[in-house]
Amino acid sequence: MTLQKTVRTLIVDDSALVRKLLSESLAKDPEIEVVGTAVDPYVARDKILKLNPDVVTLDIEMPRMDGITFLRRVMKYRPMPVIILSSLTTTGSTKAMEALQAGAVDVLAKPTSWSYEEDHALAEKIKAAARANLRLIQNTVEEDQETDDSKSARETPAGAAPVAVPSPGMASNPRPTLLYTNVAPKVPVPQKMAIPRQIVLLGASTGGTEAIKAVLTKLPAAIPPICIVQHIPAYFSAAFANRLNSLCPFEVREAKAGDIPRPGLVLVAPGGYHMVLKWQATHYSVELTTGPMVHHQRPAVDVMFDSAVKAGAGQNTLVILLTGMGADGAEGMLNLRKAGAFTIAQNEETCVVFGMPREAIRMGAAQHVLGLDKIAPCIQRFATQPPGKNGVSAT
């Protein structure tokens, strides 16, 4: 009998307690083997060469070299799946978003203790990372680098040099952070654009932060209401929404209880809360709940999708399921399709992890399977031509 290959994992963290907690947590899963630990990136470099792990978990704040600098070097010289562990702070979550842009597959809150749900989440993320489309991640990082370099050249004032902010304890940083920050101007969207019950619902997990960015940054200011559930830890969702808001011509922010989805606004479910849609006579409104996890997630895509069905979402609803592990969102998408919604799943070729879209396709929930670059144009057509009984063309 052929034994199943375990996912060989290296843990990189300067905290002995965290290394111990992570090792004990992962030891509970027979499909994962912790092959070593490292106290900093220099030790990690040697152990990567010696042990050849399949996945690395990486802290951000460490002595001698910060995690993001090390991640960029790993992705350049020895590309491999990396999961970031970050502290539950504003600074930590902002750096976690920077790490995702630099090539990390996923991000988790740094543990202080572990519950069953946290054990499961960590193990599943590591197994998903081992299956991730690493070439796709590398290509995205390279494209972002080219875009950022071009944007910095355009936005740097004539005769002025950008000011680099060195990482603590580092003599040099291969890609310093620039002090110039530019938020895309927000263009007001006339409320007369609003079509009753018109809304875009989008769900994603592993690889989703970059996929969502790729979709939203291709949209004009005049968009229909968009609600997003991305599997993301508490505190990190605000940094994710703020990053998108700085890149898009419309408003993107973390959802609050009582929010009303409207044209020109994107609402991102906060980590740790389910986002529920209700119909209030003339418009949708948002409720946030701390109900039980669904598919080991909170927020869960299925919770938002199912709430939309109960709220009467139908032919004026566009439903999109992007890259991610597991099956969250597939059943809810099927229910929305039965209610008359237009449904799209991202294709395997452009997914970092082809889990959630695959399940939606298998169940017959997805009317169309599209590459990531085809999804923004479909949203634009939906903005002016809601599906109706004949549906919106996906091409």
Active site (catalytic) residues: 205, 231, 328
Rounded CA separation 142/103 (Å): 9
Rounded CA separation 362/368 (Å): 12
DSSP 202-223: EEE-TTHHHHHHHHHTTS-S--
The two structure tokens encoding residue 185? 């101007």
The two structure tokens encoding residue 250? 């419309």
Rounded CA separation 332/301 (Å): 8
* The pairing of beta strand 82-86 with beta strand 199-204: unpaired
CA distances from 3 to 86, 286, 287 (A): 34, 48, 47
**Those residues with Cβ within 8 angstroms of residue 280's Cβ, 6 or more apart along the chain or in another chain:** none
CA dihedral sign of residues 329, 335, 340, 345: positive
Cα dihedral 169, 172, 175, 177, rounded to 10, equals: 50
The three-state secondary structure class of 368 is: strand
Locus of tokens 């986002």: 275
The three-state secondary structure class of 33 is: strand
DSSP 88-154: SSHHHHHHHHHHHHTT-SEEEEPPSS--HHHHHHHHHHHHHHHTS-HHHHHHHHHHHHHHHHHHHHH
